[in-house]
Each structure stands twice: as C-alpha cells, then as structure tokens.
Amino acid sequence: MSRHQDARVSSEDDPGAPPARGRRAAGPVAGESGPVLLAMSGLTRVHGEGAAQVRALDEVDLQVRLGELVAVMGPSGSGKSTLLNLAGGLDTPTSGAVALAGEVISDLDARKRAALRRRKVGYVFQDFNLIPALTAAENVALPRELDGVPLRTARSEAIAALFEVGVDDLADRFPEEMSGGQQQRVAIARALAGPRRLVLADEPTGALDSVTGEAVMRVLRARVDAGAAGLLVTHEPRFAAWADRTIFLRDGRVVDATGDDAPEHLLSRSR
C-alpha cells in the first residue's frame, strides 16, 4: 500500500474511538519524526507603543519536525494566535527568527513572505472559510491556482487531497450541501493540497460537536503522520491529546511543555 493510501482516512471513521495518541503522549519516539520543518528562536512580538505596549510573545523557542503535531494551549490573550501568525509568516516578530524548511522567513520582505507562505503553509480556521459559490474541489484548488499552478494540475492535486481526507466523493458538492465535519475536512484538504507541508490550525474543532471534532482530529493526525508538520491551537485537552506534545503559553511565554524532547528550560514553570 502506498504512503498516499496509508494516509487516507475513511469518512466512515469510528469517531467514538479513543485517540491513538496515547502511545505518543510522552513525545515522539526517536527516529519516528523527520527533520525540523519549523524553527522559531527567541521569538518576541510586541504590539503597540509606550504604556499601551503588549508583549504578546516573549522569547519563545519552538521546533516542529515533519511527522510531528504540536498542540498550543493557554488562557485567552496568552499569545497562541500571535505564535501561529508568526509561524506562518502572516506577522513579523519584533525580535527573534522563524525558519521554515531552513529558510528564515522573518527576514523576507512582505511579497517574498507571502509567496513562501502560499507554497509551504496551510491554515485551518474554526469557521472553515470555504467559498460558498465554489465546489469542494474548486475551493481546494483555488489557492494553488492563485499561485500560478495550471488548472488541471491544481484540480488533480485537489482531488488527491480530498481523497486523503476521505471526502473525494464530495468533490463536486457545494459547502452548503455538506455537514460541518465534511466542510472542515475540505478545509484541511485545502490547507495541504500541493507541496505545502506545514499546517497551522487555530481551533479547527471549535465550531464542531465533539464527535465530529474527534473525526477532524483523526484526519489532521493522519495527514501529519503522512508527512507534514502541524501546530494546533486548542482550548480542549481531549483534542490536544492527539498531538505528540503540548506547549502551554502564559503572558507570551512557554510556561510548560510535555514530551521527552522538550528542552529543559521549556519544562520549567519558573520562567
């Protein structure tokens, strides 16, 4: 069976089954995950000026490898979205660096950063953001077409991505003809179509009931296992349990982390 077929997730998943993540609860087994895809070091982001200054992120170090899904948890305002935006090049740090596949994106100008982002990064949001007038396949193909990929190639990449998340049979349906869980699978397919290998998910299960949320996590997990790296913001421990490890933010700092490979300073609560 090919790697591609391995990765396929049936739409008939048993959503009630417990997460398979328990086996990795203590962090990735040595050799299981691949090279570092995303490397953030000394990442600091200050918003505003003077007395209104907010240190949204403060000297954060984080690496995410191919094959690894990292959950980001923390109270409201702790810097989770800021971290995701910096990871994907939507925002630039006040200091520190973000490297994607070895390329320091935080040094690039806005145009180059946008191009790199389109090629390498996929986002999944809570509210799916599918375009109602486009079919599932058209929604998935659109970002690739915008990036200059020929229509036929974009379409076949879209069908492959939809197949991978188990909804290729819905390729010609419009969003309003799909359930919330099906729409979110399409959104994940859109985030990962083509060569993009970093998936950034901000509360991707937030608008879904818990059973459908588990099914979406299963899809995300399978996709990461098949050769992507993922950063998942969630408030829910049961969804974080699908990740290889979890980092906890408070006031822009990493105050705790799970996983054997967490650097010593990330495990300290005293920072």
Q: If binding is defined by CB under 6 A, does position 28 make contact with ligand ATP? A: no
Whether 40 and 198 have beta carbons less than 8 Å apart is answered as no
- Interface with ligand ATP by CB under 6 A: which range of 46-54, 112-120, 167-175, 206-214? 46-54
Size of the site for ligand ATP (CB under 6 A): 12
- Inter-residue contact 64 to 70 (CB < 8 Å): yes
Chosen residue from 24, 65, 80, 185 binding ligand ATP by CB under 6 A: 80
- Minimum distance, C-beta of residue 46 to ligand ATP, in the bound complex (Å): 9
Cβ-based nearer residue to ligand ATP, 85 or 183:
85
Q: Which stretch binds ligand ATP (CB under 6 A): 80-88, 132-140, 186-194, 207-215?
A: 80-88
Q: Of 70-78, 138-146, 176-184, 205-213, which part binds ligand ATP (CB under 6 A)?
A: 70-78
The residue from 77, 180, 206, 227 that contacts ligand ATP (CB under 6 A) is 77
76 binds ligand ATP (CB under 6 A): yes
Among 38, 43, 60, 78, binds ligand ATP (CB under 6 A): 78
Q: How far is CA 233 from the centre of its chain?
A: 8
Tell the residue number behind the tokens 């992507």, with chain if given.
228
Applying CB under 6 A, does 56 fall inside the site for ligand ATP?
yes
246 near ligand ATP, rule: CB under 6 A: no
Q: Which is nearer to ligand ATP, 82 or 205 (CB)?
A: 82
State the Cα–Cα distance between residues 60 and 252, nearest whole angstrom.
8
Q: Which listed residue (33, 82, 139, 184) binds ligand ATP by CB under 6 A?
A: 82
Site string for ligand ATP, 123-162 (x = CB under 6 A): ----------------------------------------
Stretch of 75-83, 174-182, 240-248, 262-270 lying at the interface with ligand ATP (CB under 6 A)? 75-83
What residue ranges bind ligand ATP (CB under 6 A)? 47-48, 54, 56, 74, 76-82
